[in-house]
Amino acid sequence: MRYYLIFIIVLILSSCKTQSVLEKNVKSIEASITEEKKFEFRQNFFDANCSVIKGENDEAINYLSNCLRIDPTSGAAYYKLASVYLNKNDFINAEKYAVKAVEFENNNTWYLYLVGSLYAQNKKFTEAINTFESLIKLNSSEIDLYMKLADIYLIQNDLENAIRVYNLTEKKFGITESISLQKYKLFLSLKKNSDAQKELVKLSKISDQNPIYERMMAEYFIMIGEIDNAINKFSEIIRQNGEDGYSHIGLAECYQLKGDYKKSIEEIKIAFSLDDVSSDDKVDLLINFIKNVGDNKEAKVTSYELTEILIKKYPENPDLNTIYANLLIQNGLYTDARIYLQNVLKVRKDKYEIWEQLVLIENELLDWTAMYEETKEALTYFPNQSFIYFFNGFSAFQLGKYVESQSSFEFGYKLITKNDPLRKDYLSFLAEVYYKNNLKQKSFETFDLFLEIEPNNIMVLNNYAYYLSLEQINLEKAKAMSYKTVQKEPKNPTYLDTYAWVLFKMKNYSESITYILQAVELDNYKSDVLLEHLGDVYFYLGEVDKAVYYWETALKIGKGSGKINEKILRKEYME
């Protein structure tokens, strides 16, 4: 608030005037006070000033209290004591001692100013008003006193009296832009539109038709619904001042209000091309436009056009690059969006949300190398973000960097809470990476922990069952888990293959063949893994020729397992 700033001025000036105030005060000390006491008074006052300078307010209070014990009528000591309490933000005591200062020197403008300000601070507005009115009578040449009085009326929302004080100020000191502008705003608040318009005319005259106030007149016309007058005024400003970007923005608003969408957009485009409109204002205008696009297809196209105009003009502006990237993402143009997000990070590496958005784009594009490099860099700026650790571990996993992947997953998992949305993802991939790193028991324990949270997650059930079958342990558990998946998705070749493989490991070949045949047929005989498994089952059913045929077919369309060549050569199943 304005009066708080005045306190700062008062505090500074009180230190500067201390010595002169002291000189005056000394004269007021009763003649009965001995010279020794006068010296003691001066010394304590001096020490109080030194303490204030050093920030030792409590010490200063002690010294000033000593002064008042020597001379309880010293206005200077009370004033200084009030200033120290003000330093401590103790407005109650500050007011108490400021009032005492005025009690002994009621014509001292410094004392009155402080006490008036403190009355206002302590919401004693009647007393504050009376004090500043007294001050104006004592010193009518100080414009700041009028401004302070007007401020107090404004704090009480007494707009009429504030205007009255502003009128007195103008009568005394002449018309100023700041006061006319304030009166304009107050008249608008009071719905005194004609008076508000008069202030704008006055502002225009005293500012030599400054375009700012001319535009305010046009905006005033918009506010009262006189759109044609607003259009004429904005057009007049452009004729008189050459291209004026803010007037074109005003015209855009006018045409929008008249329902002329095409003309409105034309004016925005002109404004966007001009240099007198700041880039920040253009970005704000663009954001507001995009917010109101909704499902309007034409408006969506226009939002692209407007963004492209600005991105060409300000190619390094991070806000514009962000806006354009978001528009591209909304339309599934992830490769293009990535470029603009990377532009943002060239200048604003501290924008976490941009890193996060970029990582999600890499996920859409399945670009694990880019994701790995970007998350690695992001972690140097945001070392405690579990989201970044997860995708760093995920990308490392996809790239076969299993040791590094495990490290990222483990560290990131420590950062999350029990209810974190990423918890299940962490557990799922920790289980996978532990298995890859041959930490099989730890992998199975982690799978179990995941299934405690979500017991029917068919992807995890399938993978867990498959790994158990590979290890040939807990096959009944593997069978139960795998069966859940084929019940849930009976036409999923992957889940059928896993179930068939578990049965195969349990030596239940007659039932295994049923499920592996379904898997192969649903997959249209395209998977070398499924075809090799089919051959394996046929071998144990005693149909060696069929087994060899499907092993050879698997090898033709893919690599098969490491043992497939030996199987074909020896015509027998190999682990």
Alpha-carbon distance values, 129 to 111, 123, 126, 143 (Å): 15, 11, 5, 15
More confident: 482 or 6: 482
| Residue whose tokens read 């000593």 | 66
Mean pLDDT of 242-270: 92
Mean pLDDT of 237-253: 90
Contacts of 558 (CB under 8 A, 6+ apart): 527, 528, 529
pLDDT digits (tens, 9 = 90+) for 90-136: 999 999 999 999 999 988 989 999 999 999 999 999 999 999 999 99
pLDDT digits (tens, 9 = 90+) for 327-363: 999 999 999 999 999 999 999 999 999 999 999 999 9
CATH number for the domain spanning 253: value is 1.25.40.10
Domain containing 252: what range? 209-277
* Residue 215 in domain: yes
End of a domain among 218, 251, 277?
A: 277
Residues 117 and 249 in one domain: no
* Residue 4 in domain: yes
Question: What was the pLDDT predicted at 471?
Answer: 95
pLDDT digits (tens, 9 = 90+) for 181-199: 899 899 989 999 889 888 8
Contact present, 329 and 337 (Cβ < 8 Å): yes
End of a domain among 120, 139, 158?
A: 139
* Residue 388 in domain: no
End of a domain among 249, 277, 305?
A: 277
pLDDT at position 5 over 50: no
Contact present, 140 and 165 (Cβ < 8 Å): no
* Residue 39 in domain: yes
Residues 131 and 222 in one domain: no
Contacts of 208 (CB under 8 A, 6+ apart): none
Residues 135 and 214 in one domain: no
Q: What is the mean pLDDT of the chain?
A: 90
* Residue 165 in domain: no
* Residue 317 in domain: no
CA–CA separation, 266 and 483 (whole Å): 64
Lowest mean pLDDT among 23-32, 388-397, 500-509: 23-32
Number of domains in the chain: 2
* Residue 464 in domain: no
Residues 15 and 111 in one domain: yes
Contact present, 520 and 530 (Cβ < 8 Å): yes
CA–CA separation, 243 and 551 (whole Å): 78
Contacts of 442 (CB under 8 A, 6+ apart): 434
* Residue 115 in domain: yes
Residues 97 and 228 in one domain: no
Q: Give the tokens for residue 568.
A: 């074909």
Phi, psi of 88 (to 5 degrees): -90, 5
Mean pLDDT of 414-432: 95
CA angle centred on 115, ends 113 and 119, rounded to 5° = 115
Alpha-carbon distance values, 84 to 64, 91, 124, 400 (Å): 10, 10, 21, 69
pLDDT at position 543 over 80: yes
Sign of CA pseudo-dihedral 169, 175, 177, 181: positive
